[in-house]
Chain A
């Protein structure tokens, strides 16, 4: 079974990085959102520093939703999902592996470019790593919660816009603690550890619960 999970992970990553896979789309979108913000807000460095964490997190949240609607839909349309339910690998594991691979190809690039983007928002050089750290801890939670929305809309042809509408309310706790952890890293005064710990626990919770919910939603949709 672990061999099958590994094969699935490899396939998902390969599909994402090849032509039409859209692995870097999220990172490019993230870049665009964060770059236009200083133009919209104006060249006020103090203001940028204050809204910086919120911009980074809203950008990361929206970017991590890109391509999520195709997470299960593509496999549903070509019959792959049917076959996957006929393997020894439980559907929960399949969902978790697919979501993990999706995070590696769309969430991880966000974490990597975040320090560069932080410079544009007047983030202290010392805090850049901490900003990336909050995204590293928080974005897997976003992807896994998003998998629930992707599973619910798997059979809908035009479900693309429905996924964010379903998923965004569920991501509010992650957003709140992500922004406060990032804010603490950039400006203080409180320590980053408390919001980061809550953020970590939210992510762990979604890593465990979201695959169960998404697998149940998929089973309903496949009937």
Chain B
């Protein structure tokens, strides 16, 4: 599904997969993307481009296709038209394997401990035990490391899901309403995490109804209906 239409612009520094350094000069582009789900066209003709170190906010009313677009970039949905490129990364690695996707589901097992949950995803997504521990620390969940994830509150579950971002290095972050249910302190921590990621040359796509204290372009999906709050 990755159609390499044209050669990467600039001079991308290639590195082997699995290194913790992000590739400089990465660039994600979508051209004329369309998505059909259950026979209904969710969106069509969506184009965007993100450079390394920048962020794009997805805006739009409920059902405009923000989540669908993120899932589409994550390779979890197939675009019905258009194409997606991630230039400047290692070759022949699908976008899905270079991206973190934090969706509405927490992907946690209540029977496993907090650290076991995060450690598992760190191992699967290319991180290590050490990065998992550090990520847990950053998420403020270290005191709960040995408790089963089943006892966590909704906000803590969300923070544990978001801790994945720091547990394994991946250049593209796809965040679907990441601030749902988390408190102000955790929101600030998330924004710091996003800032650091952008500073390191990462790319972020974020769907949110919140105001973000992070600079970035906005991609409006679907016409905002008159009178509806954004």
Interface residues of A (CB under 8 A from B): 3-4, 6-8, 10-11, 14-15, 18-21, 77-80, 82-89, 222-223
Contacts and interface: CB of A to CB of B under 8 A. Distances in A.
The interface residues of chain A, by DSSP majority, are classed as helix
B14 interface: no
A3 B105 CA distance: 25
17 contacts: A7-B119, A11-B116, A11-B120, A21-B111, A78-B105, A78-B106, A79-B105, A82-B74, A82-B105, A83-B121, A85-B96, A86-B76, A86-B96, A86-B99, A87-B97, A87-B124, A87-B126
B106 A223 contact: no
B42 interface: no
Given A15-B111, A78-B109, A85 B76 contact: yes
A4 B123 contact: yes
B112 A14 contact: yes
A92 B28 CA distance: 28
Interface string B94-133: 0011010101111111011000100111011110000000
Interface of B: 17, 74-78, 96-97, 99, 101, 103-109, 111-112, 116, 119-121, 123-126
A93 B146 CA distance: 29
Contacts, number: 73
Contacts of B112: 11, 14-15, 18
A19 B111 contact: yes
Contact of B111 (A7, A20, A86, A223): A20
A222 B75 CA distance: 11
Contacts of B125: 83, 86-87
B107 A88 contact: no
A222 B76 CA distance: 8
Nearest to A88: B97
A88 B127 CA distance: 12
B97 to A, nearest CB: 6
Which of A8, A82, A83, A89 gathers the greatest number of chain B CB atoms within 10 Å? Answer: A83
A25 B119 CA distance: 28
Contact of B126 (A19, A21, A83, A88): A88
B111 A84 contact: no
Nearest to A81: B107
A83 B111 contact: no
Nearest to B98: A86
A15 B108 CA distance: 11
Contact of B75 (A3, A4, A21, A85): A85
Nearest to B109: A15
Contacts of A86: 74-76, 96-97, 99, 101, 125
